Amino acid sequence: MPTGLKGTGLKEEDLEKRKVLTVAYQPNAKYAWATGIAIGKFLSGLRAGEILGIKCDHCGRIAVPPRIFCEWCFKKSESWIRLPDTGHVNTFSLSYITTDTTRVKTPTIPAVIQIDSAGNAGFLHILGEVKPDEVKIGMAVKAVWLEESARKGSITDIKYFKPIR
């Protein structure tokens, strides 16, 4: 494999045939991420089948996902509001590779969903029950939830958003 670069080109089969010595290592890399108060309540809301936002009493802005303070006013936000599980596609992408870079024929469709009655606020999720070439910015969508017993307080308690036809 001449590349013009200095170095020793190695292919997978060179390693399999043990042409060179190798050391294999699999770190036991676990993490526990603390959600904080606002996201904790948001995730509890998802488990209950609700999208919760928070309103700044100073400027009126709604944050979803919620934050414990308004970064515009630097004031504590305390007015929790239950938002509808509908919204509009703010932006989207067609992804033909998975998180481990495997190529796939059918794309996943990540999209930022602007939640209704929350101003510009919204979050990233995926779209379902829609063909890739039918997705449009501004499209009205609704959350499709996991069965209540399967929910665990995670963003994936919403399976995907589907178009409202």
Q: Which is nearer to another protein, 66 or 87 (CB)?
A: 66
Q: Which is nearer to another protein, 34 or 103 (CB)?
A: 34
Minimum distance between the CB of residue 45 and another protein, rounded to whole angstroms?
Answer: 10
Quote the DSSP letter at residue 3.
Answer: -
Minimum distance between the CB of residue 12 and another protein, rounded to whole angstroms?
Answer: 10
Query: Both tokens of residue 123?
Result: 């979050």
Taking CA atoms, 38 is separated from 47, 53, 57, 72, 163, in Å, by: 14, 9, 16, 17, 28
Minimum distance between the CB of residue 33 and another protein, rounded to whole angstroms?
Answer: 5
Query: Both tokens of residue 25?
Result: 């290592």
Minimum distance between the CB of residue 30 and another protein, rounded to whole angstroms?
Answer: 5
What SS3 class is residue 79?
strand
Binding site for another protein (CB under 8 A): 8, 10, 15, 20-41, 43-44, 153-154
Q: Which is nearer to another protein, 39 or 73 (CB)?
A: 39
Query: Both tokens of residue 109?
Result: 């469709």
Q: Which is nearer to another protein, 55 or 88 (CB)?
A: 55
Check: CB of residue 84 under 8 Å from CB of residue 117.
yes
